[in-house]
Chains A and B, each alone.
Chain A
C-alpha cells in the first residue's frame, strides 16, 4: 500500500483535492465540509513535503499519467523548482484553511459554505496541477480549473459587498483572455513542433530554428501568463478581486495564485524557450524590465493613496510582482534566485498581511484605514503581526523581505546596473510610507467614538502568526529557502541556452 502511494505521489498531489472537492460539496453543513477540506489539505501538504524532500537533492521525478509513453501521454514532472512552488501552495492552503473557519462563517451564509470549500479545494487542485504538470495543454486545463474556482470564490464575497460580483466578472473576462492567449501561444508552438510535452518542446524549439510563428507563440504566452500573474499594466483585474473577495480567499490567492503563474512564466521562459534566439531576451529586457520597474513605483504610489487596507495590500502585491519579474529579466543566476526566493518570501509576507486585514474585518467590521484608529491598543497581537509583516514588505533586515531585496540588489550590482539597484531601494521607501500610514493610524490615532473591538480569535491569530513567524525565521536563517531557490535557479539556468552565459 505504502509503496503504491509512494509510486503515485505526483498524481495524488493533484488528484486528491480534485476528487475530494465534489465529496466536500455533498457533505453539507459548513463545519463538516470544513473539517474534511482540512484533512484533505493536510494530506496534500504532506505529499508536497515528500516530493520536496525527494527532489531536494536534485533528482527529477518523471511520472507518466496512465502509463502512456512520454511525448504522447501526459507527464508529471517534479524537479526542485516546482517542488518548491508546490510546497508554497499547499503550505499556504494548510495555514489558510484553519484561519478561514471563523471569517468564512462571518462572511458567507451557512448553506453556501460547503460549496465555498469545494471551490477552494478545486482552486488548490488547479494551482497544484499547473505547477506539477509537464504538459503545455495540461497547464491550460488546470489554469482553467483554478481560474473558474477562483471566479466563484471571488464572487462569493458578494454576500458582504455586491461589488465582488463586478470584480469577479472583470476577473473572469481578463482571466479568460489570458488563458485564451496562452492556449493560442501553445497552439502555435504545437504547429511548429508537433508536441505538447514541455521537455520535448524545449528540444524541438532549439532544433526548429527561428520563425515568425515561434515569435507569435512566444508573445502570446508571455502576455497570457502576464495577465494571470498581474504584470503591470495587465493587473487591472487584481485590486478589486483581492479587495472584494472573502478575506480568507484573498490571503490564499495572494500567497499562491500569482505565484503559480510566475512559475509557469519561469518554466516557459527558461526551460521551453530557453533563450535559443536573441529576440526572446530582447523582448524580456525591452518590455518586461521597464514594466517591472514601473510597477514597483506606480503600484506602490497608488497603494499609498488607498484607504481600503485590502486594496492597498493588493497594489503592494502588484509592486512586489514587479520585483519578481525584475529578477527574472536580469537573466542571471542570482537574479533568478532572487525571483524564486521572493516567490516564497512574498507569499509568506502577503498571506500574513491579508490575514491581518481579515482579522480587522472580523473584529472591527471594516478594513478602511481611516476607521482603524487606535486599533493597536484593542487588538495588540493582530496589529503587531501587521507591523512585523510590514517590516518584511519594506525589506528591513531580519525579515524575509530583506533576503529578497538583498539578492535582487546583488543581482543588479553583478550586472553593474547601478540605477536599477538604486530604484529597488528607492521603491522600498514607498513601502515604508504605506506601511507607516497604517501603523500611525493604528497606534497614534484615537479610536473612533463608540467602537468595541476584541482581539481576533486564536484560530485566526495562530495561522497569522505562523506566517509572521516564518517571515522572521527565514529572514534570520535564510539558509533553507535561499539554498532551495539557488538550486532551483541553477537548474533552470542550466536548462536554458542563454547565449551569453559566462
Chain B
C-alpha cells in the first residue's frame, strides 16, 4: 500500500499542516508522531527499489529499501521522535516546520536510489536546516546561518556538477558504489566531504552548530553529517584515501575539543572526531568495517544527540554554555547530569553502552586487516574522546569549580527525551545482538569477550586517573573565554588580507586600463571629430563616436576573418 510514497513526502505534508495544529501539547504530540508515520512507510518493505520512474531518459528511484537504508532511515526517524520530545516546550512554528522538513529530507536522501533524488534531498537538508540557526534571531546567528547555507548549498552544487560528469561518463545516475578515479567521482566525493566535515572542509560545522537555537543544535547534530556518512558507505566503500582522511579527522579535533570553552563547540569537535571513525570504517571497506561504521554512526546519533541535549538543557536553564560560567550544576540539575554521564560513558565506549559495541567494531576491522597505524591512531582518538567529552565536559559543567548558578532542573519534555535517549544508549550496549541484526552485512561479531571488556575498562579507568591528576596538577589547558583559531582562520583572516591586497592591485590596474582605453578612445574619436569641427561643442557626443568606431572595427575584423 504505502510503496508509492517516500517517507520524505509524509514529512513535507506534515510540515505544511503544522501551522494548523494548535500550539501546545497537541502540536507536540503531532510532531512526535510524524516520524512514526514515516517509519510505517518503509518498515517491513521487502528489499528492492520502489516508486521508480523515468524522467528525461534518467531512471529516478525514490525508495531503495535495503538493510543500509533501513538502518539509517530508522535511526533518523527515532532521533526525530526524540528531538520532537526534546523540543516539547518550543512554541516556534518556524523551527518546528524546519525540523520536519530537515528530517524528511535527510530520510528521503537515505532512501534515494539515484543521484538526482539524492541531490534534491541533499539541498533540502541544507535549506531546511538553516532556519534552525536563523531562529536564534540575532545578527550573529543570521550571519553564521548565511555562511552555513553557502557552504551547504555549495556542497549540493558540487554534487550536481559531479552527477552531470558521471552521467556524461557512464550514462547512468544510479547511486551505487563508485570507483575513485575520474573527475566525476572526485567531484562527488568532494561534495560529500563538505557535508561530512572532512579536515579543511569542516569549519562550517563549528561555526554553525553553536550558533543555532537550543533545540536547533540538537537537531542539526543528528542529520547532516550522518547523511554524509551514509553517502560514503553507499558510494565509496573501500576507498583507501578515506582511511587517511578519517584518521586525520579523528585526531585533529581532539586538541580543539580540549581547548574550547563553549561546551557546544566542544561537542561539535568531538562529533567531528567521531565522524572520523566512521570515515575510516568506510575506507577500510570490509564487511565488518562497513558494519562498524554504520553501527557507530547510529550509536553516535544517539549518544552525541544525548550530549547535545544535556548541554542544551544547561543552556536553556542558565543562558550560557560557557564552561567558564558553569560548574557545580550537579546540585540542581542532577537528572540532566545523569543523562549527560550516560552519553559521556557511551562516547568513552564503556562496556554496557552503545559506544562499546559500535566503536570496537571499527577498531577490530582495522585490527583484522593488520593496519597497525590505523589501529593505533584510532586508539589515540578514543583516548581523546574519553578525555574531552567523556570526562572534561561533564566535569566542567556539573562538577569542577562552582560557577554559583543554581538553575532549575530541565523541563519535562527535555528530561523525557534525554531519558529515552539514555535508555536507548544503554539498551544498544546491553543487547548488542538485536542491534547487530539491523546492520547491513552478516558478519558475526562478539563485543563482550573477557579480554575486550577488561582492556576497555582499563583504558577508561586509567584515562580517568590521568584526567584527575592532570586537573589537580593543572596539566590541562584552562577553560578561558577566547577564540581558538582553526582552519577557518585562513579564509576569515588570511584570505581577506590577501584579497584586499589583490583588490588594490586590480583596482590600480583597472584604473590604469580604464585610462588607457579612455585615452585611446579619445584619440580615435579625435580623428572623427576633426572632420566635424572643433571638439568643444561636440564634446557630449564623443562616446557615440567611439561606439561607432567599435562597430566599424568589428565589421572590418569580421570581414577579414570571413575572407581568410
Contact = CB atoms under 8 A, between A and B. Distances in A.
B123 interface: yes
Contacts of A233: 550, 554
Interface stretch (B105-113, B400-408, B466-474, B556-564): B556-564
B555 A219 contact: yes
Contact of A218 (B56, B544, B546, B562): B562
Contacts of A227: 551
B466 to A, nearest CB: 47
A218 B563 CA distance: 11
A139 interface: no
A11 interface: no
Contact of A396 (B142, B153, B554): B153
A380 B56 CA distance: 37
A425 B157 CA distance: 11
A283 B544 contact: no
A317 B375 CA distance: 57
Contact of B551 (A166, A174, A479): A174
B164 interface: yes
A398 B160 CA distance: 12
Contact of B157 (A174, A287, A397): A397
Given A166-B540, A397-B160, A223 B550 contact: no
A174 B549 CA distance: 11
Interface stretch (A249-257, A321-329, A405-413, A459-467): A405-413
B502 interface: no
Contacts of A220: 555
Contact of A174 (B119, B123, B548, B564): B548
Interface residues of B, number: 32
A425 B161 contact: yes
A170 interface: yes
Given A236-B547, A396-B153, A409-B164, A287 B143 contact: no
A227 B555 CA distance: 11
Contact of B557 (A212, A287, A305, A413): A287
Contacts of A282: 561-562, 564
Contact of B550 (A173, A216, A236): A236
A223 B156 contact: no
Interface string A272-298: 000000010011001100000000000
B558 A234 contact: no
B551 A283 contact: no
A71 B491 CA distance: 66
A252 B123 CA distance: 33
Contacts of B544: 169-170, 173-174
B512 interface: no
Given A181-B555, A223-B554, A234-B554, A173 B562 contact: no
A223 B551 contact: yes
B369 to A, nearest CB: 39
A177 B547 CA distance: 10
A104 B538 CA distance: 33
Interface string A212-230: 1001101110110011000
B548 A173 contact: yes
Nearest to A214: B562
B551 A396 contact: no
A216 B153 CA distance: 49
Interface string A231-243: 0011011000000
Contacts of A60: none
Contacts of A169: 541, 544
A41 B421 CA distance: 64
A174 B555 CA distance: 14
Interface residues of A, number: 39
A185 to B, nearest CB: 11
A444 interface: yes
A96 B119 CA distance: 35
Nearest to B167: A410
A413 B561 CA distance: 26
B171 interface: no
Contact of B555 (A173, A223, A398): A223
Nearest to A291: B554
B562 A283 contact: yes
Contact of A215 (B510, B554, B563): B563
Question: In this complex, which of B164, B546, B555, B557 has the most chain A Cβ atoms within 10 angstroms of its Cβ?
Answer: B555
A490 to B, nearest CB: 15
A283 B561 contact: yes
A170 B561 contact: no
B543 interface: yes
Interface string B144-169: 00100000010011001100100010
Interface string A162-179: 000010011001100110
Contacts of A305: 510
A236 B547 CA distance: 6
Contact of B164 (A177, A237, A406): A406
Contacts of B541: 169
Nearest to B164: A409
Interface in B520-534: none
Nearest to B143: A444
Contacts of A279: 562-563
B558 A223 contact: yes
Interface string A385-414: 000000000001110000000100110010
Contacts of B153: 396
Nearest to A391: B153
A443 B149 CA distance: 15
Nearest to B540: A166
B164 A410 contact: yes
A414 to B, nearest CB: 8
Given A233-B550, A237-B547, A396-B157, A216 B559 contact: yes
Interface string B119-158: 1000100000000000000000011001000000100110
Interface string A298-309: 000000010000
A398 B143 CA distance: 24
Contacts of A409: 164
Nearest to B548: A177
A287 B564 CA distance: 12
Nearest to A170: B544
A233 B146 CA distance: 37
A170 B547 contact: yes
Contacts of B557: 287
A259 B517 CA distance: 30
A489 B562 CA distance: 25
A335 to B, nearest CB: 15
A293 to B, nearest CB: 16
Nearest to A425: B161
B543 A170 contact: yes
Contacts of A443: 142
B157 A444 contact: no
B503 to A, nearest CB: 11
Nearest to B507: A305
A234 B550 contact: yes
B161 A219 contact: no
B151 to A, nearest CB: 13
Interface in A242-274: none
A502 B123 CA distance: 38
Nearest to A216: B559
Given A170-B543, A425-B161, A283 B558 contact: yes
Contacts of A215: 559, 562-563
A397 B156 contact: yes
Given A236-B543, A279-B562, A410-B168, 6 more contacts: A227-B551, A282-B564, A287-B557, A287-B561, A410-B164, A413-B164
24 contacts: A170-B543, A170-B544, A170-B547, A177-B551, A181-B555, A219-B562, A222-B558, A233-B550, A234-B554, A236-B543, A236-B546, A282-B564, A283-B561, A287-B561, A396-B153, A397-B123, A397-B160, A409-B164, A410-B164, A410-B168, A413-B164, A425-B161, A443-B142, A444-B142
Interface of B: 56, 119, 123, 142-143, 146, 153, 156-157, 160-161, 164, 168, 510, 540-541, 543-544, 546-548, 550-551, 554-555, 557-559, 561-564
